[in-house]
Structure formats: structure tokens, C-alpha cells
Amino acid sequence: MKSTNNLLQLDGIDKKILRHLMQDARTPILEIARDIGISGAAIHQRLRKLEAAGVISGSKFIINPKVLGYTTMAYIGIFLDRAMSNPRAVAELQNIPEVLECHYTTGNWSILIKVLCRDNEHLMQVLNKKIQQIDGVSRTETFISLNQQIDRQIQV
């Protein structure tokens, strides 16, 4: 790993380590070490450097929302009455557990959010009783995702 023009450049070993962990973050370090052909201590050292450089930050389990009854994924474009409403609107959106992502965008909307609901009825309740009640929200535009066809991280 080296730094060029404030960009981090990963070497082949770093990339192999990251590919293993992106595929399954629970892969034992010694298994990765055996596969790559270096010591477990070297893997630990590289992981510490990658974490210190901000390339990786922790690990997490991925929950299957459908198993828990959440089957409706939607993207909602939020129109604000004025730009100054953004910080307050984002603070309110953060209090809505169904909101998974929130993006400040260019284009038609001020904010684009990703929400996960149990069904269309639940989505309608979230829209009408939570999102559209936020001060500064003038209107919304909703797109329901029928099927997520690609789900991946950046390639290394």
C-alpha cells in the first residue's frame, strides 16, 4: 500500500485480502494467509494499516429484510421548499427507522432517500404520516423497486 497524490494505491496482496473479506468478513485470518501464502501476522498488520488509512472500517452482518417481513423497497425524491430546510429535514429523516439512506443530490430533488417497508400500505403510512409531515418538505416522488438486480461493492 502506498500513497500517490493523496490517493491510496493497494498492492496485489492488499487486494487479495480485501477480496476475501468482502466475500465473507468472517473468513479466518489464517485461512486467508494460507491462500495468499503469507503469515497470519502479516495479514493482521496489513489489516491494521488498511483500517488506519480508512480503506476499511469494521465489519457487519447483513440482515435479509424479506425474512423479517420487509418486502417493499422504495426510493423517494424529496422536494424542499428552500435549500435552508435541508439540515432540519435530514435530522427528521434520521428519526424514521424505515429510511436506510439519505443523499443530498443535484437535479430535480433536494434529497433522495431509500426506504424499506413491510408492504405498500406501510410505505403509504411512512410517506403520509412521517416524511410528508416534515417542515420544509413541499412534495415527494416515489419509485418502488420491483427487484434489486445488482448488489455489490466497488471492485479492488
Q: Is the pLDDT assigned to residue 5 strictly greater than 70?
A: no
Q: What is the model's pLDDT at position 98?
A: 98
Picking from 6, 4, 19, 9, the residue whose alpha carbon sits closest to that of residue 49 is: 9
* CA 131 – CA 128 distance, rounded (Å): 6
Cβ distance 114 to 101 under 8 Å?
A: yes
* Residue that is written with C-alpha cell 429484510 in the block: 65
Cβ distance 8 to 55 under 8 Å?
A: yes
Q: Is the pLDDT assigned to residue 1 strictly greater than 80?
A: no
Q: What is the pLDDT of residues 76-120, one digit of tens each?
A: 999 999 989 999 999 999 999 999 999 999 999 999 999 999 999
For the chain, the domains span: 2-52, 65-145
* CA 139 – CA 80 distance, rounded (Å): 7
Q: Give the count of alpha carbons within 13 A of 77, CB side only.
A: 9
What CATH number is given for 2-52 in this structure?
1.10.10.10
Q: What is the DSSP string of 80-110?
A: ESSGGGHHHHHHHHHT-TTEEEEEE-SSS-S
Rounded mean pLDDT, 55-60: 87
- Which pTM was predicted? 0.84
What CATH number is given for 65-145 in this structure?
3.30.70.920
Picking from 6, 32, 8, 30, the residue whose alpha carbon sits closest to that of residue 18 is: 32
Q: What is the model's pLDDT at position 61?
A: 85
Q: How far is CA 16 from CA 32, 43, 58, 98, 123, in A?
A: 9, 10, 18, 35, 41
